[in-house]
Structure 1
Amino acid sequence: MKNLNKLYILLFAVLVFATSCEDLTEINEDPNRPTEVPVEYLLTSAERQLGNRLYGGFDNVAFGMTVSQYWAQNEYSDETRYQFRANTNNTFWSDFYTAINDLQEIKKVNTTIDKGQQGINQNAVATILQSWAYHSMVDIYGDIPFEEALQGVDIPSPAYSDQELIYSALIDSVSSAVAAIDPSAPGFPGGDVIFDGDLSKWQKFGNSLLLRIGIRLSDVNPSLAEQTISAAAEGAMKSNADNAAIQYITAQPNVNPLYVSYVVNGRQDYCATENFIELLNGLGDPRIGEYFVPAANTGTFEGLPYGVTSAVAAGISRDAVSQLNPQVYAADFPGTLMGFVETSFILAEAASNGWIGGSAADYYAQAITASMNYWNITDGNAIGDYIAANPYTEDNLKVQKYIAMYYEGWQSWAEIRRLDLESLPAANLVEIDPAVNFVDVSNILNRRLYPQDEQNLNGANYQNAASNIGSDAYDTNLFWDLD
């Protein structure tokens, strides 16, 4: 009997413990802190992360805008001589992949809930933006982790995929995503700081992205370029109102990153380059006053020589050269991912190749007009006169696209390489004097080096990638850059 009583006590204790554990589990599930993040939060996070990296002080500013020779440095001119901060490159890479992973999480969450067409629309939006991010990374570095990326602990050290194969995969992914969207059905209930949930604009963005991918292939794979562009052209952006851009606002922390650098931190480190000012002045381009302000000392537009040493740059007064127009570092100045201007230039090129209908000259005029309008120049007669003075030719298209891509440093850099603008005297780009350069490269860089963290933490795959592209060097061409 005594032993039986002990058994009952033991069984009672077990039951109490089990019940208590069940109750504790329920208590530990905080209803105000769900374990599953709403998909709209993931979208906002990815969009802001990509925008802040693309337009951050050490990314678009200290790399994109300087390598593209729009901006020189008032002092500390290391970046214009290709001396870049390793930590900045590490952060750019990791933040892009964080955003790409957030977009992948949207698709993972949607596999657990049957949302019907809404889930399909959300997945398509995530795929388009994810593809934009991957494409940007390929055109900056070359081979990158793609097929084995985003696997977490399953593949902590992902292999790099061939850049040309990534291009093909992105064409398929974006094409499928655009086709899957039904604008009449719901998408994201909130959180979209690019298009505010407008699915028809996401379709136009996807088609315009296909144009960008296609035109990069024009020299290396013209048949795929024609196929891609001809299929997407009709559904691409129709006006500046369709621009894909991060819509910054005037309230912190959701402001233009350049505003933080220039206004909050007071770091007004950049000014116009001498060669870009000469180009704009020589053409009588009215956008010069929208891009820059006249030099305080003279009241005229003046630029700083590109690629000079920090000592030389510091010796030139800020008042002697044109500084940035304050509108570009306004808190709510948008961060463009792709716009109607670029789309129109691509269509002009495609029309000249016979890949689409329409006149190359008309698309060219459309592109310049859209660029002028974007930069607050709306006098139709003045725009017409400018186009008449710079009529459509292959070389003029190259120069005008370079001018119009101002403030989109990363994409301008890609087009400089594809169009070989450094070899076109009319573009007025300069070679850096190797005697004052940090690296043995005097022309425009062909790519960005892989981050130091990849070399340290993913060494074997890094070495394979470097070998596959030719060398992890600034002068290694990407696969689409034949010259």
Structure 2
Amino acid sequence: MKMLNRMLKYSCLILLSGLLLAACNKLDDINHNPTKPTTSDPAFLLTGAEKSAMDILYSTLQNGYFAMHYAQYWSGNSRVADSQYAIDEGNNAAFWTALYKSLYNLEQIIQLNNEAGTNPAAVNQNAIATILKAWLFQVLTDTYVNVPYTDALKLSTNIAPKYDDAKTIYSSLADTLQAQINVLDESKPTFGAGDVIYGGDVASWKILAHSLLLRLAIRMADADPAKAKGLIEANYQAAMTSNANNAQVIYPGVTPNRFPMDETERSIIDFFVSTTLVDYMKSVNDPRLPVYARPTKNNPANFVGLRYGTTANDPSRTSLTADDLSFPGTKIYSSAMPAILMAYPEVEFILAEAAARGYTVGDAATHYTNGIKASMDFWSITTGVDEYIAGVPYNAADWKNVIGTQKWLALYPQGFQAWFERIRLDFKKPGGDSLFLAPYNGSLDPNAPFVPYRITYPTGEQTQNKASYDDAAAAIGGDTKGTKNWWLKF
């Protein structure tokens, strides 16, 4: 049974049932036998990997209770312990398992193509699968620090994989992405409709790989500045240049293939937007506020956040009803909301920071302005944009706070990426006043009184992969939410 659990955990194939994803950025209704794994077709495996990863990254159970809380976009409604950093181990295990399942599907694509040796699309298919693997492994190592990497997908030879050093993983991911850019060949066939992010468009995958290298590099900017500078300067000109390049999945809005936070069939009442988000957006007259949050039912002209980490029985909370507070915006919970892998606004804010750090990538103020405009464009906001930018000007002397706040706003609702950037930059409001708060009624984790720096390993690892788990916990300085990642230097 223990061996079976390990096999399921690291290598179960995703069994696609009902509707399968098909067509560029659309899910189609191709029927598939739910009792058979999709090992015979690389396109099915890619579809499963892309969808499974997006489903978990935008689930209310993982994005909502973990990442959107840790980014302090949202605060819990009746379930507040998550805002106070008590971890739901079921949700944690599901996150870990789903990402490794997606990784295994991607690895299967490469193995099938290599074994067959007859697929003319194999070169591009393997490169795309490898780019996606790099993306998911970065999410995993940014979330947990050291994770199974080199042994993780070798089921036939290792069902108790060792954990690799996070810094070493980063170095490998950078090399991997650069190699795939060189391998991708626009003259050769690819996945087509099985790729629900770019429809198999090779040029778009090259752009994404360059952009992911920017994300990888800026995260290590304080820990390995020379390498970060070299990677960004070498890749920025080939990265995303508009929202047309965004890597995202658009769900069709038909059960079971709905955006994970689509509330069409049931209201999501688990979260209110936080005062952190609402009050700051109000203070700068941010035109995205009506998109990010709903007005209160009791006052349709007003937006009211819930103070972060307020328990249900606190007097300041019991004096309010749900009708006095703002839920997340209807677009965030709609069938039209895309699941974002990476988008153009993030690229511009990366370049703004790179320029502020002295990298040769152009003008910081220009990239900063471009980032804000790109975010407004993404949310279809056309009125008041120039006035808004004039009210939140770039300030080279305060670049970390200025860029940090606007990047944080632009990353909504990408909870995990926003959380990583919150802790990496440790930014405040422009001018230096505090933006983020400790949980109002206190943290339930003494190792994370203000914000978790990581998520602890799933508890199943302590029994199913004990030796590797023990080594990993010791290597990172303890399996606690207070342990910092290698790139976190403040």
TM-score, normalised on structure 1?
Answer: 0.89
The one-letter amino acid paired with 1:467 is A
Structure 1 residue 265: deviation in Å?
3.9
Greater Cα shift, 350-359 or 154-163: 350-359
Residue 206 of structure 1, aligned match among 200, 209, 219: 209
Q: Within 5 Å, give how 1:3-402 maps onto structure 2.
A: 36-115=39-118, 118-259=121-262, 262-298=263-299, 299-312=301-314, 313=317, 316-379=320-383, 382-393=384-395, 394=399, 395-402=401-408
What is the alpha-carbon distance in structure 2 between the residues aligned to residue 437 and residue 225 of structure 1? Answer: 34
The one-letter amino acid paired with 1:403 is L
Greater Cα shift, 212-221 or 355-364: 355-364
The one-letter amino acid paired with 2:165 is D
Structure 1 residue 432: deviation in Å?
2.1
Question: Whose helix proportion is higher, 1 or 2?
Answer: 1
Counterparts in 2 of 1:34 and 1:335: CA distance versus 1, 3 Å: closer
Structure 1 residue 34: deviation in Å?
9.4
CA contact (8 A) 2:351 2:361 kept: no
Greater Cα shift, 269-278 or 310-319: 310-319
The one-letter amino acid paired with 1:195 is Y
Structure 1 residue 146: deviation in Å?
0.5
Structure 1 residue 289: deviation in Å?
0.8
Counterparts in 2 of 1:423 and 1:385: CA distance versus 1, 3 Å: closer
What is the alpha-carbon distance in structure 2 between the residues aligned to residue 436 and residue 351 of structure 1? Answer: 38
Structure 1 residue 285: deviation in Å?
0.7
Q: Give the SS at the match of 2:177.
A: helix
Structure 1 residue 117: deviation in Å?
5.8
Counterparts in 2 of 1:34 and 1:59: CA distance versus 1, 3 Å: closer
What is the alpha-carbon distance in structure 1 between the residues aligned to residue 381 and residue 433 of structure 2? Answer: 24
What is the alpha-carbon distance in structure 2 between the residues aligned to residue 427 and residue 118 of structure 1? Answer: 52
What is the alpha-carbon distance in structure 2 between the residues aligned to residue 61 and residue 98 of structure 1? Answer: 21
Structure 1 residue 438: deviation in Å?
1.5
Unaligned runs of 5+ in 2: 1-34
Unaligned runs of 5+ in 1: 1-31
Aligned residues: 448
1:405 paired residue number: 411
Structure 1 residue 35: deviation in Å?
8.2
Q: Give the SS at the match of 1:264.
A: coil
CA contact (8 A) 2:405 2:429 kept: no
Structure 1 residue 116: deviation in Å?
6.5
Structure 1 residue 36: deviation in Å?
4.3
Q: Give the SS at the match of 1:167.
A: helix
Structure 1 residue 325: deviation in Å?
1.4
Q: Give the SS at the match of 1:49.
A: helix
Greater Cα shift, 109-118 or 232-241: 109-118
CA contact (8 A) 2:192 2:201 kept: no
Q: Give the SS at the match of 1:154.
A: coil
The one-letter amino acid paired with 1:307 is G
What is the alpha-carbon distance in structure 2 between the residues aligned to residue 264 and residue 270 of structure 1? Answer: 17
Counterparts in 2 of 1:322 and 1:182: CA distance versus 1, 3 Å: same
Counterparts in 2 of 1:62 and 1:33: CA distance versus 1, 3 Å: closer
Counterparts in 2 of 1:364 and 1:436: CA distance versus 1, 3 Å: closer
The one-letter amino acid paired with 2:224 is N
What is the alpha-carbon distance in structure 1 between the residues aligned to residue 487 and residue 236 of structure 2? Answer: 21
1:13 paired residue number: none
CA contact (8 A) 2:177 2:213 kept: yes
CA contact (8 A) 1:399 1:426 kept: no
2:464 paired with 1:457? yes
What is the alpha-carbon distance in structure 1 between the residues aligned to residue 436 and residue 37 of structure 2? Answer: 54
Identity %: 34
Q: Give the SS at the match of 2:457.
A: coil
1:42-73 deviation line (CA, Å, top 9, x unaligned): 00000011000100111111111111111112
Q: Give the SS at the match of 2:261.
A: helix
Counterparts in 2 of 1:91 and 1:170: CA distance versus 1, 3 Å: same
TM-score, normalised on structure 2?
Answer: 0.88
Structure 1 residue 115: deviation in Å?
4.5
Structure 1 residue 296: deviation in Å?
1.6
The one-letter amino acid paired with 2:374 is A
